[in-house]
């Protein structure tokens, strides 16, 4: 009978836990929510988060306070959330770098992306375009590839630093096309975009921001192709990578929302419903578009699958690109 009594006790404990979580979700939220952005204020991820947070706050009936915790390649903010109570009152805006790339770029990462976080869903997916200075003798991606093959190592490209997303995206493009360029790392887009406009670097793979598009209009820069499945509505005349001969180019440049592991499932589901609604509000979609992003909705389970798949893919790719962890 001992096994029978133990089974009854386990079932009772499980039933109590489920009732507790359900009751918690019904009451949630009863106080303000802190939404951590692991970057400085004013950037694309911060602006997107603030637009979404305003709508989520309205839906939940509680204030949502955006807390910028910049530092150490987004690690400072991510660690703060990983170590927060798993009660649904601390969220993290997590770009793909936080949940995928840092795992393979830093030996002593103070959190594990899959162990310490549970996805709520996504906010957006950024679009990337190939921008070149007017002095580069190429008016299409095919011509750029042909010129680079004929002149290996002559062209240069900029990024936000070794192992950062624009470096990895461009390294992936170079590998797919079999061409060589010289990587020139900077501390951020605020440095390498002016260098591109001045012609001191030749190319960047970057979202089509208003700043870049204004330079395209003047003829100082050219945009050769977009890494999108379909033509980007803002640049309908610019072909996609697939149309330019590069099939199935997929780079994870999404923005996810995660909570500390252990957060009750009903709370995560409530947050997901508000998040999925918020990203499709016209005002939010406008902010996303202004930051070269499109809304991206998913269930927590679907988000977890996407993140796990990207971790597997880049866990194999990053070492093959010759990038070693710090």
What confidence tens digit (pLDDT) does each residue in 186-242 have?
Answer: 877 788 999 999 999 999 999 998 889 999 999 999 999 999 889 998 999 999 999
Tokens of 42: 């004013």
Question: pTM for the complete prediction?
Answer: 0.82
> Mean pLDDT over all residues of the chain?
91
What would be the CATH architecture of the domain defined by 2-25+32-125+255-320? 3-Layer(aba) Sandwich (3.40)
Closest to 206 (Cα-Cα) out of 168, 246, 237, 176: 168
Instruction: List, in sequence order, every beta strand (DSSP E) within the chain.
Output: 33-37, 64-68, 90-95, 117-126, 129-133, 156-159, 182-185, 203-206, 221-226, 254-260, 293-295
- Residue span(s) of the chain under CATH 3.40.190.150 come to 2-25+32-125+255-320
Tokens of 195: 């260098």
Q: Which phi and psi angles does 224 have, rounded to 5°? A: -95, -35
* Cα–Cα distance, 144 to 136 (Å, whole number): 8
pLDDT tens by residue, 283-313: 999 999 988 898 999 999 999 999 999 999 8
Instruction: List, in sequence order, every beta strand (DSSP E) within 188-272.
Output: 203-206, 221-226, 254-260
The alpha carbon of residue 176 and the mean position of all alpha carbons in its chain are separated, in whole angstroms, by 22
Under the banding of pLDDT at 50, 70 and 90, the label for residue 4 is very low
In CATH, the number for domain 129-226 is 3.40.190.10
- Residue span(s) of the chain under CATH 3.40.190.10 come to 129-226
In 10 A of CB 188, how many CB atoms?
13
């Amino acid at each position: 009978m001992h096994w029978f009594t133990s089974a009854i006790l386990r079932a009772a404990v499980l039933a109590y836990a489920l009732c507790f979580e359900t009751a918690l979700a019904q009451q949630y939220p009863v106080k303000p929510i802190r939404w951590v952005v692991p970057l400085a204020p004013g950037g694309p991820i911060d602006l997107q988060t603030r637009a979404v947070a305003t709508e989520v706050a309205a839906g939940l009936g509680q204030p949502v306070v955006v807390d910028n915790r910049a530092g150490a390649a987004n690690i400072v903010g991510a660690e703060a959330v990983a170590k927060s109570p798993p009660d649904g009152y601390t969220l993290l805006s997590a770009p793909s770098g936080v949940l995928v790339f840092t795992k393979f770029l830093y030996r002593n990462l103070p959190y594990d992306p899959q162990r310490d976080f549970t996805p709520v869903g996504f906010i957006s997916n950024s679009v990337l375009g190939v921008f070149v200075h007017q002095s580069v003798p190429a008016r299409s991606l095919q011509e750029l590839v042909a010129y680079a093959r004929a002149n290996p190592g002559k062209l240069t490209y900029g990024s936000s630093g070794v192992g950062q997303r624009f470096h990895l995206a461009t390294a992936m493009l170079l590998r797919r096309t079999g061409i060589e360029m010289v990587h020139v790392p900077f501390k951020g887009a605020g440095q390498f975009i002016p260098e591109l406009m001045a012609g001191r670097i030749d190319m960047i793979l970057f979202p089509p921001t208003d700043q870049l598009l204004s330079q395209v209009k003047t003829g100082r820069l050219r945009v050769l192709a977009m890494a999108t499945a379909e033509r980007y509505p803002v640049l309908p005349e610019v072909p996609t990578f697939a149309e330019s001969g590069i099939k199935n180019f997929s780079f994870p440049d999404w923005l996810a929302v995660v909570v500390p592991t252990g957060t009750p499932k009903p709370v995560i589901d409530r947050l997901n419903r508000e998040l999925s609604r918020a990203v499709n509000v016209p005002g939010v979609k406008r902010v996303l578009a202004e930051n070269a992003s499109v809304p991206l909705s998913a269930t927590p389970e679907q988000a977890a699958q996407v993140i796990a798949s990207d971790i597997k893919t880049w866990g194999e790719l990053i070492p093959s690109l010759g990038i070693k962890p710090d």
